[in-house]
């Protein structure tokens, strides 16, 4: 057990999918895993371990934002031996060509600040995905025929953004979307020798102001979960 995860030794699989919302962790578990068992409920952050096509996998919430994600990623890797961590979550599109319900596979994740910033001092570390996972995720998305974009994203450390100028600069540099966790996940995984990837569903659009209705989100998120699982076990 750790301060934030109540799982016993052996309860956590080496492959962990990490949605931000613990309720989404429950939904993904009930939808995709066989014989799942709840392994964590500390502070309401749900984690489940089961199997997918015979492969053992844990789906564990990360909470919102990089500080929360950093806690769970560190404990999962350091204390439970997780070796592959894949964020599955929602994101806001920053380019017109990226549409609602599209999938974004994050090759890199830019950010203004993460909990790991102090490690680097004046160095601007470039957090990036594990290439093997990224390659397999792209192949899985193509096989499904899902509209998919691969490239750089922005991990924000605030939700209520008051920097439209920054959004414009990021868009000019081809940034596909904004979310709040991937940059820290990539950094923690690099530091601790694990593999990481973020597979995201576009639920909102910063330019058109479209938003995916709440009742449609789970159905649209199914492709993202399947792509993440295929990337981990293909």
Domain that holds residue 60: 15-233
Residue 169 in any domain: the answer is: yes
Annotated binding site for phosphate: 20, 24, 43, 87-90
| pLDDT for position 117 | 81
Q: Exposed (0-12), middle (13-18) or buried (19+): which is 108, by Cβ within 10 Å? A: middle
Going by the DSSP 8-state scheme, the letter that residue 8 receives in this structure is P
| pLDDT for position 123 | 83
Residue 186 in any domain: the answer is: yes
Residue 4 in any domain: the answer is: no
CA-nearest of 20, 23, 1, 21 to 12 is: 1
CATH code of the domain in which 75 resides: 3.40.50.1580
Annotated binding site for a purine D-ribonucleoside: 4, 179-181, 203-204
Residue 3 in any domain: the answer is: no
* Distance (Å) of CA 88 to CA 118, 122, 200: 26, 31, 6
Residue 7 in any domain: the answer is: no
Q: Where does 23-161 show beta strands of DSSP type E?
A: 34-40, 47-52, 55-60, 84-93, 103-110, 148-155
CB atoms under 10 Å from CB of 122, counted, come to 4
Annotated binding site: 4, 20, 24, 43, 87-90, 179-181, 203-204
Pairing type for strands 195-205 and 84-93 reads parallel
From 157, 204, 216, 223, the catalytic residue = 204
| pLDDT for position 15 | 98
Q: For this structure, is 223 an active site residue?
A: no
Residue 6 in any domain: the answer is: no
Residue 1 in any domain: the answer is: no
For the chain, 234 residues long, give each residue's pLDDT as a single digit of tens.
898 999 999 999 999 999 999 999 999 999 999 999 999 999 999 999 999 999 999 999 999 999 999 999 999 999 999 999 999 999 999 999 999 999 999 999 999 988 888 788 788 899 999 999 999 999 999 999 999 999 999 999 888 877 788 999 999 999 999 999 999 999 999 999 999 999 999 999 999 999 988 767 766 799 999 999 999 998
Residue 167 in any domain: the answer is: yes
Number of domains in the chain: 1
């Amino acid at each position: 057990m750790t301060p934030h995860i109540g799982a016993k030794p052996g309860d956590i699989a080496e492959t962990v999918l990490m949605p931000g919302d613990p309720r989404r962790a429950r939904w993904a578990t009930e939808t995709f895993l066989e014989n799942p068992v709840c392994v964590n409920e500390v502070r309401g952050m749900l984690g489940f371990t089961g199997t997918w096509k015979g492969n053992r996998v844990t789906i564990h919430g990360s909470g919102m934002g990089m500080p929360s994600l950093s806690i769970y990623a560190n404990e999962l890797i350091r204390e439970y031996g997780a070796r592959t961590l894949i964020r599955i979550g929602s994101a806001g599109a920053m380019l017109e060509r990226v549409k609602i319900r599209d999938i974004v596979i994050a090759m890199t994740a830019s950010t203004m600040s993460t909990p790991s910033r102090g490690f680097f001092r004046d160095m601007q570390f470039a957090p990036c995905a594990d290439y093997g996972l990224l390659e397999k995720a792209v192949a899985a998305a193509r096989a499904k025929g899902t509209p998919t974009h691969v490239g750089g994203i922005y991990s924000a450390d605030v939700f209520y953004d008051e920097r439209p100028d920054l959004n414009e600069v990021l868009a000019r540099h081809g940034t596909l979307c904004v979310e709040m966790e991937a940059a820290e996940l990539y950094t923690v995984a690099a530091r601790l020798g694990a593999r990481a990837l973020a597979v995201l569903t576009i639920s909102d659009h910063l330019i058109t102001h479209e938003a995916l209705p709440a009742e449609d989100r789970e159905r649209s998120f199914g492709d993202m979960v399947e792509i993440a699982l295929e990337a981990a076990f293909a």
